[in-house]
Amino acid sequence: MIEWFVAILLVSGAIFMLLAAVGVLRFPDLFSRMHATTKASSFGAGLMLLSVILHVQELFIILEAMIVLIFIFLTAPVASHMIGRAAYFLQVPLWKGTIIDELHDRYNLHNHTLASESPDSATD
Amino acid sequence: MIIERAAYISMVIMTISLFIAFLRLVKGPSTPDRIVALDLITMLTLGMILAYCMLTGQFVYLNTTIILALITFLGTVAYARYLEKRVL
């Protein structure tokens, strides 16, 4: 019974990773590609690590897999946030069907700071 | 038995995903696209190592996944910081 559960978790994690790869090939824009790859790939790796945790009985291996799981879920948002910030500073082109860009001329090109209002109307 | 079959199937799926992510790595019009594709390739390799662990029952390879998760985070942060500040 538990074997079927482990196998289903393993294959569904692999399918989520396939969805991430298809998204990174097919989406039109860097930011939508990041939307596909970060969430789906870390969720797929989490499902596969969960199947490892359910499969083994030794405590040390379970702890090791849980360390990898926690580490991935802590670091994937930080890394993708840094890539998105750098890409916005480099002015990577958005998709032509983009409706709203809320950060438009709200950042300073010289000292690389984002402001909550546009830098021309800032008083200080 | 069923776990071995599931490990084989997931390794096949993971290989197809590696080819697709490699296509984006070659095509990618800008540098952040390539960084995202590299990040995805590292995660796919991690999943492939996990499937190989389930296939053989040798769970020593889990040490490799710790190192891989650490290296992909540090590499991505270093690339992004270089792109933003132009110094390391």
Query: What are B18-32's pLDDT values in tens digits?
Result: 999 999 999 978 899
How large is the average pLDDT for residues B24-41?
91
Give chain A's mean pLDDT: 87
Does the residue A121 lie in any domain? no
Over 60: is that where the pLDDT of A123 sits? Answer: no
Distances (CA, A) of A113 to A117, A118, B11: 11, 11, 44
Question: Is A45 within the bounds of a domain?
Answer: yes
Which domain covers residue A7, as residue numbers?
Answer: 2-89
Q: By percentage, how much of chain A surpasses pLDDT 70?
A: 89
CA distances from A1 to A4, A15, A55, A70 (A): 5, 22, 12, 27
Q: Do A3 and B77 touch (CB under 8 A)?
A: no
Question: Cβ distance B87 to A89 under 8 Å?
Answer: no
User: Other C-beta atoms within 10 Å of A6: how many?
Assistant: 22
Q: What is the mean pLDDT of chain B?
A: 92
- Which whole number is the average pLDDT over A61-75? 94
How many C-beta neighbours within 10 Å does residue A27 have?
Answer: 17
Indicate whether A57 pLDDT > 70.
yes
Confidence class of residue A124 from pLDDT cuts 50, 70 and 90?
very low
If one counts every other C-beta atom within 10 angstroms of the C-beta of residue A81, the result is: 13
Identity at B10, one-letter amino acid code: S
Domain count within chain A: 1
The answer to the question of residue A85 being in a domain is: yes
At residue A95 the predicted structure's pLDDT band, cuts being 50, 70 and 90, is: confident
Nearest to B59 among A10, A48, A56 (CB): A56
Helices (H), chain A: 2-26, 30-55, 59-89
Looking at the partner chain, which of A52, A85, A112 has a beta carbon nearest the beta carbon of B50? A52
Residue A105 lies in a domain: no
Residue A30: how many CB atoms within 10 A of its CB?
A: 25
A18 touches chain B (CB under 8 A): yes
Residue A39 is assigned to a structural domain of this protein: yes
Cβ–Cβ below 8 Å for B76 and A51: no
